[in-house]
Amino acid sequence: MDERRRNKRLPLKLELNISSLFKQDNLGITNLDEHIEVIDISKSGVGFRCKDELPLDYYFDAKIELTKEKFFYGVLKIVRVEKQEDSYSIGAEFVGLAEILSKNIEAYGQEVEPK
């Protein structure tokens, strides 16, 4: 399988809760209570697992905690959904992530990567 990722994925264990999804044309899905388990992060996005299938091309707001002291808020767009045995593997890209925040992800990578 060809590697298609633009940026190196870094392990990240983080749990989030999605309460709503939205699209640019003001379509939305509200009253969600979707628990997700973040698997990894890169400068371009995050990979996560959840129990329910989420629709492609929808967006959600997230608080990303790299460490207890380092966190940021961002918007993510769902770009990949794959059925697993008992869950879904989801890929989401950051939308308009500020350069300073992507540098925080790079710094996090230097902290977690073995030397």
38 in a domain, yes or no? yes
Q: State the DSSP code for 16.
A: E
**How many folded domains does the chain comprise?**
1
* Domain CATH for 49: 2.40.10.220
Q: pLDDT for 28-74, tens place per residue?
A: 777 677 888 999 999 999 999 999 899 999 999 998 988 888 889 99
2 in a domain, yes or no? no
Share of the chain above pLDDT 70, in %: 90
Burial class (CB in 10 A: 0-12, 13-18, 19+), 105: buried
Q: What is the pLDDT of residue 80?
A: 96
Q: What is the pLDDT of residue 115?
A: 57
75 in a domain, yes or no? yes
Residue 106 tokens read as: 């790079």
4 in a domain, yes or no? no
Share of the chain above pLDDT 90, in %: 37
5 in a domain, yes or no? no
1 in a domain, yes or no? no
Helices (H) and strands (E) in the chain, counts: 1, 8
pLDDT > 90? residue 101? no
Which residues are CB-contacts of 13 (< 8 A; sequence separation ≥ 6)? 37, 38
pLDDT > 90? residue 81? yes
pTM for the whole thing?
Answer: 0.82
Lookup result for tokens 């388990």: 37
Q: What is the pLDDT of residue 46?
A: 94
3 in a domain, yes or no? no
Q: What is the pLDDT of residue 41?
A: 92
37 in a domain, yes or no? yes
Q: Which of 50, 51, 75, 60 is nearest to 22 (CA)?
A: 60
Domain span at 37: 10-112
Q: Which of 22, 47, 42 is nearest to 32 (CA)?
A: 22
Q: What is the pLDDT of residue 87?
A: 94
